[in-house]
Structure 1
């Protein structure tokens, strides 16, 4: 009888240890349409290694982030939260523009100045730290082509530098994808007037993101 009880105890203990060992890390990706494009490829790359989720829909700009970050984090049971904003923040729009999204960098108004972008990121990171113990990773703004209707190419660099200062302040790791995204866009971009990518481009971006994240769960 004692041997039987001991066997059951050992079996139960082994089952508990096994279930804990097999539990995959949970990674939440928060971001705009660029992240929506590469997330399926990241999921495929992590199929046997981690659970990858994306916030519902497009995270748009930091103003949306301030409103919804607590909802997206939920119970906070994440191992990694990767987040990015910027392409919407630095975009100029005008209500009379006929270009998709009312983009117009000649007559339009910027969504958030670089100063407001910094302040919003500062608040978002503080909220993230309050809601989750996950490792935080910020992904920089990707390449902006010269002919984009609502965005100035150089603004991506200015906003990225501002974001890096905020991340340094909070001790948040940065995955700076700008240069790699520029190289990918030159081969697999959707055009010199478009910040988006072809499927091959998103696959390449997914590899870049995955390679960075792989090192964080090893």
Structure 2
């Protein structure tokens, strides 16, 4: 083998090794629930994928519409996992003394189901125009019955509307709702709180990890 062929072969092998060893770049956009499980997701994929979360809390779809361009940035994402819902379906009353002015008796909902669906439609349309990443929508998690600003029954309504939008745009859906109910009942912070203990977030991360593992295998 002459030096030219040898050099070209070595260059190709270096390129092939670098390409095959590249770790998928994954962005998680979401609320405090996603903030809670993301550290466990990062630990799970250490050495296998790069995991980032949008700065702070993604709140409701209105916040998403304002900040989605900033969150996506110019990064070349392979997967963008996103969720909204818990903030969209909350009722607030400026006179309420509950944290976040939550009040499902006298308050006004942040977004109706139809408004939520319309916002999601706009968000997915924009993300598809901005990035070639595989999009994954994570459904809204469980709301316990005594939560001050949210109705348990609303979650299914909002999730149903969200699924319709995702199917319209051919976006993958990781439906964590049923599993989140079970996890919350054992590891939630109480019947008036949508959040989880550390163990609860770790359990939720297993649901996220298994879905992402499948998606990563499909894009590699």
TM range, normalised to the smaller chain? over 0.9
Provide, for residues 5-31 of structure 1, a one-character-per-residue CA deviation record: whole Å limited to 9, x for no partner: 443332222111111111001111000
TM-score, normalization by structure 2: 0.96
- Counterpart CA distance in 2 for 1:16 and 1:128 is 30
Q: What's the counterpart of residue 10 of structure 2?
A: 11
- Counterpart CA distance in 2 for 1:97 and 1:139 is 30
Do the aligned residues in 2 keep the contact of 1:76 with 1:131 (CA within 8 Å)?
A: no
Q: What's the counterpart of residue 82 of structure 2?
A: 83
Runs of at least 5 residues in structure 1 that lack an aligned partner in the other structure: none
Runs of at least 5 residues in structure 2 that lack an aligned partner in the other structure: none
Q: What's the counterpart of residue 117 of structure 2?
A: 118
Per the TM alignment, residue 197 of structure 1 is displaced from its structure 2 partner at its CA by 0.1
- Counterpart CA distance in 1 for 2:25 and 2:128 is 17
TM-score, normalization by structure 1: 0.97
Provide, for residues 12-69 of structure 1, a one-character-per-residue CA deviation record: whole Å limited to 9, x for no partner: 2211111111100111100000000000001111112111111111000000000111
- Counterpart CA distance in 2 for 1:13 and 1:212 is 33
- 1:29 paired with 2:36, answer no
- Counterpart CA distance in 1 for 2:17 and 2:75 is 24
Per the TM alignment, residue 76 of structure 1 is displaced from its structure 2 partner at its CA by 4.9
- Counterpart CA distance in 1 for 2:134 and 2:15 is 25
- Counterpart CA distance in 2 for 1:194 and 1:181 is 13
Q: What's the counterpart of residue 109 of structure 1?
A: 108
- Counterpart CA distance in 2 for 1:183 and 1:120 is 29
Q: How does 1:136-147 map to 2 (within 5 A)?
A: 136-147=135-146
Q: What's the counterpart of residue 210 of structure 1?
A: 209
- Counterpart CA distance in 2 for 1:138 and 1:6 is 48
For the residue of structure 2 that corresponds to 1:71, the secondary structure is helix
Q: What's the counterpart of residue 156 of structure 1?
A: 155
For the residue of structure 1 that corresponds to 2:136, the secondary structure is strand
- Counterpart CA distance in 2 for 1:89 and 1:201 is 23
- Counterpart CA distance in 1 for 2:141 and 2:162 is 13
Q: How does 1:16-95 map to 2 (within 5 A)?
A: 16-95=15-94
Q: How many residues align?
A: 217
- Counterpart CA distance in 2 for 1:172 and 1:13 is 35
